[in-house]
């Protein structure tokens, strides 16, 4: 029993962890021409590379990918308007990030939490796409624009309504705890921290994207059809795609008002662009538009990187002991507090 | 002797017609359905199963032949009563339960409101996902075929020409597929013991092994067959079959059917700070 | 880890790769930091499920009775990606859990440190495999 967890398994894990930290220089260079995805698609690094096509003759985005990336959504304030690291700065940053991640993994979790590193859920055990960008959000500001007054009020009202009630019942908990929707599923699809993976399968006229958490599969038609009726509101919105050269452009509307992406309303409108820039990289760009939340659209981009693995089932609802335990714990706390008085 | 020319012509035409069938029928052969239909090809030369499909039967209520009956919630009256069905099980329509399992099925049925995983918005497993009364979509490429089910956002990835194995059991199982002529054959293992076959408490163990066959039978129908094998529950393998119908309406699409919130009162109602007021 | 939480909310600095911010809150409602515990027991079941895996162990109490405990861990999906399977922790294995008990007093805990009786960690040692003396 002692040797069930074979030493070879551990050394395999070690080899995998080391390999996964390697940066693919091609993807970093591709980010510099992010504004012109068509050009990037045919020229990656110093090799001439042609974007592959499916047997139907459309760009091939298929495979198992991760959108885990080393760059934050918003730019660290100290960097001001600096949009790109130099290669030297990037190398240094990567080194610092990896060292910090290693320290965190060694220190383990504080408080009442399982050790993420033990389960391989920390940064060192996942492939991380690298980009020279200093933030996912592009442009001189590098951050989410301020909310319009009406949007601020909306957010404040929502928080006020839940204050003092956050443990009352399942409706007071976050969508992720209820296994309805994971925080960064989007669209836009943003890194989740772990299991940040997706599988893309293409059939004639469709691009299917399955996000690992919570196994939601966006089946996107590529015929540029109309969206569903206005009164049909969906957590992931309604996505319609079309091809522009080598880029898949996806337009999503019909969100509910509960997704609240960075404070957005049900009028959220997301445009995504997927362009394969290398065998192991998709350039993912998105524009966020909601005139009832922000006074102007804002955009971001990040690399989606191929992983040599598969998606595993993330059956959240089925295994959600947590919701029961959270509510049970809250009731126990209330009972204990009442007993003190 | 009177010579019937017409008869001769008819029989001659018949034998010519029979001679013309062979290729398509032989390609679809090896299963119960002999068909003369040859499906269009995908760009890589395989039978094209892409589309939005749905079963049209009451197997989700009960896969066995059954008459109409009162539903589990009396207050939903006729709206939620059991619709009748001629059954989807091949042969005499009986499920060959081992004696202990037969008893358990009756217990399941008696407690189906509490025990049916569908009530809790749990993934339906295989083969129940196929005949839930909602559409599913086949997205077919060479290495992978994705089956995307509208209900509860279920999804299965079929690994083509692979003999990979699952690391652990899951609700929707592990699917390895290959082509036998125009039939997609899917070998499903790694199914956990938590799903049911229907709302009537028909169940299985974690030894369940399902082999599915999807065969094009006409431009807008597939024939679906599933062989069920589970030596811990059944005395022998048994089989279900049913047509699957294509959604032909323009702009047909799956819609989100996220049901966890619809099951919250059932699952957590007793843990609320204050009960829900009606 | 208060710093980590603050950084995550502000969205600045490193993109954090641990569980989402709200999860820390929820864990504090499930488990009691004032009830640390150490359990040694025999594995009876390993639920390789999401959003959290659960190890069920049979623990012998001081008075000779036994109690079945369930211990919360992380999503197993990356363990699968690294080659672990359900056979990696078979029933009958004796393990040691360092963690915190459920707030409602039930025999449930969150496991911070999971080891064999000889101190070796159950799954992965951390970001630098081998750093804790595991075999390579």
A186: Cβ–Cβ under 8 A, 6 or more apart, which residues? A236, A261, A270, A286
What b/e sequence results for A242-255 when a residue is b if at least 16 CB atoms lie within 10 Å of its CB, and e otherwise?
A: eeeebbbbbbbbbb
Q: Are A323 and B266 in contact (CB under 8 A)?
A: no
Q: Which residues is A230 bridged to in the sheet?
A: none
B-chain CB neighbours of C48 within 8 Å are 167-169
B169/C80 Cβ within 8 A: no
- B99 lies in some domain: yes
What is the spatial distance between Cα B244 and Cα B221, in angstroms, rounded to a whole number?
6
- List Cα–Cα distances, B214 to A208, B24, C47, in angstroms: 20, 16, 33
Residues A33-39, mean pLDDT to the nearest whole number: 35
Confidence of residue B23 (pLDDT cuts 50, 70, 90): very low
Q: Are C27 and A113 in contact (CB under 8 A)?
A: yes
What is the spatial distance between Cα C130 and Cα A40, in angstroms, rounded to a whole number?
40
- B216 lies in some domain: yes
For residue B11, pLDDT beyond 80: no
Binding-face residues of C in 1-30 toward A, CB within 8 A: 1, 10-20, 22-24, 26-30
Q: What is the ipTM of this complex?
A: 0.88
- State residue B33's pLDDT score: 54
Residue B99 C-alpha, separation from nearest chain A C-alpha, in angstroms: 29
Residues B109-134, mean pLDDT to the nearest whole number: 98
- State residue A102's pLDDT score: 84
- B18 lies in some domain: no
- State residue A23's pLDDT score: 35
Q: Are C73 and C47 in contact (CB under 8 A)?
A: no
Nearest to A126 by CA among C116, C77, B77, C89: C77
B169/C85 Cβ within 8 A: no
What b/e sequence results for A158-191 when a residue is b if at least 16 CB atoms lie within 10 Å of its CB, and e otherwise?
A: eeeeeeeebbebbebbbbbbbbbbbbbbbbbbbb
Confidence of residue B7 (pLDDT cuts 50, 70, 90): low
Say whether residue A331 is in contact with chain C using an 8 A CB cutoff. yes
Residue A265 C-alpha, separation from nearest chain B C-alpha, in angstroms: 19
- State residue C23's pLDDT score: 57
Closest-CA residue of chain C to B168:
C86
- B25 lies in some domain: no
Confidence of residue A25 (pLDDT cuts 50, 70, 90): very low
Q: Are A212 and A197 in contact (CB under 8 A)?
A: yes
- State residue A19's pLDDT score: 39
For the segment A307-326, what is each residue's pLDDT rounded down to a tens digit? 999 999 999 999 999 999 99
Q: Which CATH number fits domain C33-116: 2.40.50.140, 3.40.980.10, 1.10.3720.10, 3.60.10.10?
A: 2.40.50.140
Domain that holds residue B136: 35-271
Domain spans of chain A, in order of start: 7-326
In chain B the beta strands, taken as DSSP E runs, fall at 51-55, 136-140, 144-149, 155-160, 174-180, 183-189, 209-218, 221-229, 238-246
What is the spatial distance between Cα A52 and Cα A279, in angstroms, rounded to a whole number?
8
CATH of the domain at B225: 2.40.128.20
For residue A1, pLDDT beyond 50: no
Q: What pTM value is reported for the model?
A: 0.87
- State residue C15's pLDDT score: 35
For the segment B115-124, what is each residue's pLDDT rounded down to a tens digit? 999 999 999 9
Higher pLDDT among residues B106 and C20, named by residue: B106
At what angle are helices C21-30 and C2-10 packed, to 10 degrees?
140
- State residue C28's pLDDT score: 87
What is the spatial distance between Cα A27 and Cα A282, in angstroms, rounded to a whole number?
9
Confidence of residue B237 (pLDDT cuts 50, 70, 90): very high
Nearest by CB to A55, from B44, B254, B264: name it. B44
Residue C79 C-alpha, separation from nearest chain B C-alpha, in angstroms: 9
Structure tokens, B264: 């919250």
Residues C63-87, mean pLDDT to the nearest whole number: 96
What is the spatial distance between Cα B178 and Cα B156, in angstroms, rounded to a whole number?
15
For the segment A142-170, what is each residue's pLDDT rounded down to a tens digit? 999 999 999 999 999 999 999 999 999 99
- As for how many domains chain B has, the answer is 1
Structure tokens, B120: 């809790």
- B57 lies in some domain: yes
For the segment C120-134, what is each residue's pLDDT rounded down to a tens digit? 999 886 444 333 322
- B26 lies in some domain: no
Confidence of residue B5 (pLDDT cuts 50, 70, 90): low
> Mapping DSSP to helix (H, G, I), strand (E, B) and coil, where does residue B53 land?
strand
What is the spatial distance between Cα A81 and Cα A97, in angstroms, rounded to a whole number?
21
Domain spans of chain C, in order of start: 33-116
Residue keyed to tokens 């707030």: C103
A-chain CB neighbours of C88 within 8 Å are 4-5, 9
Confidence of residue B39 (pLDDT cuts 50, 70, 90): very high
Average pLDDT, chain C: 79
What is the spatial distance between Cα C80 and Cα A190, in angstroms, rounded to a whole number?
23
């Amino acid at each position: 029993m002692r040797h069930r967890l074979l030493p070879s398994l551990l050394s395999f894990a070690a080899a995998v962890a080391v390999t996964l930290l390697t940066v693919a220089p091609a993807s970093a260079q591709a980010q510099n021409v992010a504004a012109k995805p068509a050009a990037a698609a045919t020229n990656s690094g110093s090799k001439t590379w042609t974007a592959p096509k499916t047997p139907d003759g459309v760009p091939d985005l298929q495979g198992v990918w991760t959108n885990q990336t080393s760059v934050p959504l918003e730019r660290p304030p100290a960097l001001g308007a600096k949009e790109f690291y130099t290669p030297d700065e990037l190398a240094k940053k990567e080194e610092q990030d990896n060292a910090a991640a290693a320290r965190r993994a060694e220190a383990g979790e504080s408080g009442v939490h399982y050790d993420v590193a033990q389960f391989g859920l920390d940064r060192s055990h996942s492939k991380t796409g690298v980009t020279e960008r200093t933030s996912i959000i592009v442009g001189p500001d590098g951050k989410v624009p301020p909310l319009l007054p009406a949007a601020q009020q909306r957010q404040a009202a929502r928080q006020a309504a839940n204050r003092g009630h956050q443990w009352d019942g399942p409706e007071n908990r976050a969508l992720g705890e209820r296994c309805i929707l994971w925080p960064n599923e989007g669209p836009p699809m943003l890194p989740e921290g772990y299991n940040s993976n997706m599988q893309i399968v293409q059939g004639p006229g469709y691009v299917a994207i399955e996000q690992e958490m919570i196994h939601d599969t966006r089946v996107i038609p590529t015929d540029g059809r109309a969206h569903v009726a206005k009164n049909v509101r969906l957590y992931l919105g309604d996505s319609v795609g079309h091809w522009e050269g080598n880029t898949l452009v996806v337009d999503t509307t019909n969100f509910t008002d509960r997704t609240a992406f960075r404070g957005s309303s049900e009028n959220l409108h997301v445009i995504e662009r997927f362009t394969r820039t290398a065998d192991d990289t998709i350039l993912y760009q998105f524009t966020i538009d909601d005139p009832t939340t922000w006074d102007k659209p804002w955009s971001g981009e990040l690399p989606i990187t191929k992983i040599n693995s598969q998606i595993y089932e993330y059956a959240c609802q089925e295994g959600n002991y947590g919701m029961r335990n959270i509510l049970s714990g809250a009731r126990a706390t209330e009972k204990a507090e009442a007993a003190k008085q | 002797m009177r010579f019937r020319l017409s008869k001769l012509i008819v029989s001659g035409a018949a034998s010519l017609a029979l001679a013309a069938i062979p290729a398509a029928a032989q390609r679809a052969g090896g299963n119960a359905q002999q068909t003369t239909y040859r499906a269009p090809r995908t760009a890589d030369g395989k039978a094209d199963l892409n589309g939005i499909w749905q079963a049209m039967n009451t197997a989700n209520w009960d896969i066995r032949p059954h008459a109409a009956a009162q539903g589990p919630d009396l207050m939903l009256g006729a709206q939620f009563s059991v619709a009748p069905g001629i059954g989807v099980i091949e042969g005499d329509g009986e499920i060959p339960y081992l004696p202990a399992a037969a008893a358990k099925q009756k217990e399941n049925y008696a407690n189906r409101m509490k025990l049916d995983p569908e009530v809790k918005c749990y993934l339906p497993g295989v083969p129940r996902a196929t005949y839930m009364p909602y559409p599913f979509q086949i997205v077919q490429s060479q290495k992978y075929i994705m089956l995307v089910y509208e209900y509860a956002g279920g999804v299965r990835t079929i690994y083509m020409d692979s003999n990979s194995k699952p690391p652990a059991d899951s609700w929707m199982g592990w699917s390895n597929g290959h082509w036998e002529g125009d039939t997609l054959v899917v070998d499903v293992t790694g199914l956990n013991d938590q799903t049911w076959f229907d709302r009537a408490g028909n169940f299985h163990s974690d030894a369940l092994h399902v082999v599915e066959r999807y065969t094009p039978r006409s431009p807008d129908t597939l024939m679906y067959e599933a062989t069920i094998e589970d030596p811990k529950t059944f005395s022998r393998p048994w089989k279900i079959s049913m047509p699957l119908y294509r959604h032909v309406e323009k702009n047909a699409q799956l819609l989100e059917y996220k049901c966890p919130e619809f099951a919250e009162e059932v699952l957590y109602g007793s843990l609320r700070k204050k009960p829900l007021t009606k | 880890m208060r710093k980590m939480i603050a950084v995550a909310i502000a969205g600045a600095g490193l993109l954090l790769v641990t569980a989402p911010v709200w999860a820390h809150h929820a864990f504090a409602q499930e488990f009691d930091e004032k009830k640390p515990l150490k359990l040694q027991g025999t594995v009876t079941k390993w639920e390789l499920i999401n959003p959290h895996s659960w190890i069920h162990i049979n623990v012998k109490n001081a008075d000779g009775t036994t109690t079945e405990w369930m211990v919360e861990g992380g999503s197993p999906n990356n363990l699968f990606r690294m080659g672990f399977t359900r056979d990696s922790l078979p029933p009958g294995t004796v393990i040691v859990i360092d963690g915190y008990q459920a707030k409602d007093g039930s025999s449930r805990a969150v496991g911070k440190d999971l080891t064999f009786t000889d101190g070796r960690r159950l799954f992965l040692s951390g970001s630098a495999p081998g750093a804790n003396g595991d075999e390579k």
